């Protein structure tokens, strides 16, 4: 794995200076303070500070600093602030990075995201790194992480089967399920877990759940088999949840409608459930212009100055 930085990956040279700037500024600062400190301390010429990417027109220096900050957050050297203030962690206070070490951090995260996507046709890491850096030129990290970071469903699909089962149990707890029990895989009989849903102080519902880590469609026969297990299991059950990162065929959805004891949760619904309780995800506010608000000003002619 190469350590040499290319023109596309040159932004890693700012990792160390961002940490240095924050130490000099007392451990926390706003982006403008940090870029100003770096520019003045390193005596950067105006042509570097004001240079823009040819394709996107984005200011190169500020964009590279912003992406450097993002990797430092992932590396837990900076805190993930929601108020526009960058803050050193304890680890960050004590970390001094060379450009080579910074490049190693960048490659580490490129490889991590590449593995999470589980690409069958994955390109070599150094080539993937150049592709990632090129995509970063067109967008700032606050605007979108789509170019490099896997989606939630891709992360869920990358988990081990056992890990996915335990995570589903964790999610059910967020929705007020109690007595979560993950079965032993070799003796589960088609049931991955048991739970209790307390509907009110007097009534509780017993639940079985099965977790299917799929990228495609769960075969309908798997749904039918799950129903059979529910009906023959020694433990009584009032509801069965089949949870998947994939999707269900139309025939399976018809079975779901006809069976009050069955609840199918596909990948889209699963993502919504994680987002609703903000489990394993970070909420971001995106402001878009309200076009109806500005419409009344669009055609307004000024008669006075």
Q: Which of 124, 150, 176 is the last residue of a domain?
A: 150
Handedness of CA 67, 73, 78, 84 (dihedral sign): positive
Note down the domain range covering 273.
157-277
Does the structure show a pLDDT above 80 at 120? no
- CATH code: domain of residue 164: 3.40.1350.10
What pLDDT is recorded for position 65? 93
Q: For residues 15 and 141, state if they share a domain.
A: yes
Does the structure show a pLDDT above 90 at 72? yes
> Considering its fold, how many domains does the chain have in total?
2
Does residue 302 belong to any structural domain of this protein? no
Does residue 239 belong to any structural domain of this protein? yes
What pLDDT is recorded for position 1? 38
Average pLDDT over residues 198-213: 88
| 199 neighbors 158 (Cβ within 8 angstroms) | no
Average pLDDT over residues 123-130: 78
Q: What is the C-alpha to C-alpha distance for residues 252 and 235, in angstroms, rounded to an integer?
A: 24
How many Cα atoms are found within 13 Å in the side-chain-facing hemisphere of 257? Answer: 7
Q: For residues 133 and 175, state if they share a domain.
A: no
Q: For residues 161 and 55, state if they share a domain.
A: no
What pLDDT is recorded for position 141? 73
Does residue 301 belong to any structural domain of this protein? no
Question: Residues of the chain with pLDDT > 70: what percent?
Answer: 84
- For every residue of 166-230, DSSP letters joined together read HHHHHHHHHTTEEEEEEPPGGG-TT--EEEEEE-SSS-EEEEEEEEE--SSEEPHHHHHHHHHHH
Does residue 305 belong to any structural domain of this protein? no
Does residue 304 belong to any structural domain of this protein? no
Distance in Å from the first CA to the final CA of the chain: 65
Q: For residues 49 and 138, state if they share a domain.
A: yes
Q: For residues 142 and 170, state if they share a domain.
A: no
Q: Which of 127, 150, 173 is the last residue of a domain?
A: 150
Contacts of 279 (CB under 8 A, 6+ apart): 170, 171, 174
Task: Tell me the pLDDT tens digit for each residue of 127-173.
Answer: 888 788 777 877 667 654 545 667 888 889 888 899 999 999 999 99
Q: For residues 163 and 233, state if they share a domain.
A: yes
Does residue 287 belong to any structural domain of this protein? no
What pLDDT is recorded for position 231? 83
Does residue 4 belong to any structural domain of this protein? no
Q: In which band, very low, low, confident or very high, does the pLDDT at 272 lie, cut at 50, 70 and 90?
A: very high
Question: Residues of the chain with pLDDT > 90: what percent?
Answer: 51
Average pLDDT over residues 231-255: 89
Q: For residues 142 and 164, state if they share a domain.
A: no
What pLDDT is recorded for position 186? 52
| CA-atom Rg of the chain in angstroms | 25
This prediction's pTM: 0.60
Does residue 226 belong to any structural domain of this protein? yes
| 91 neighbors 77 (Cβ within 8 angstroms) | yes
């Amino acid at each position: 794995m190469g350590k040499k930085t290319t023109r596309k990956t040159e932004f890693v040279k700012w990792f160390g200076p961002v940490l240095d700037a924050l130490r000099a500024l007392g451990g926390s600062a706003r982006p403008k303070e940090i870029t100003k400190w770096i520019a003045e301390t390193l005596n950067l010429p105006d042509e570097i500070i004001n240079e823009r990417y040819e394709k996107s027109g984005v200011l190169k220096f500020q964009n590279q600093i912003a992406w450097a900050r993002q990797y430092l957050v992932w590396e837990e050297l900076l805190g993930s602030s929601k108020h526009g203030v960058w803050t050193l962690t304890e680890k960050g206070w004590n970390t001094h990075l060379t450009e080579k070490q910074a490049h190693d951090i960048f490659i580490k995260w490129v490889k991590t995201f590449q593995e999470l996507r589980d690409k069958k046709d994955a390109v070599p890491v150094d080539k993937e790194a150049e592709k990632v850096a090129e995509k970063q030129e067109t967008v700032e990290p606050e605007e979108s992480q789509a170019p490099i970071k896997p989606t939630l469903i891709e992360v869920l699909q990358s988990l081990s089967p056992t890990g996915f089962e335990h995570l589903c149990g964790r999610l059910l707890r967020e929705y007020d399920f109690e007595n979560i029990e993950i079965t032993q895989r070799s003796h589960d009989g088609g049931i991955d877990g048991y739970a209790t849903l307390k509907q009110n102080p007097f009534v509780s519902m017993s639940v079985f759940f099965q977790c299917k880590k799929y990228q495609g469609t769960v075969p309908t026969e798997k749904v039918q088999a799950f129903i059979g297990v529910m009906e023959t299991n020694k433990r009584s059950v009032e509801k069965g949840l089949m949870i998947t990162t994939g999707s269900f065929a139309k025939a399976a959805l018809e079975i779901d409608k006809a069976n009050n004891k069955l609840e199918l949760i596909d990948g889209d619904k699963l993502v919504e459930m994680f987002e609703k309780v903000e489990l394993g995800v970070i909420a971001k506010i995106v402001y878009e212009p309200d076009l109806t608000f500005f419409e009344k000003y669009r055609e307004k002619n000024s008669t006075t100055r």
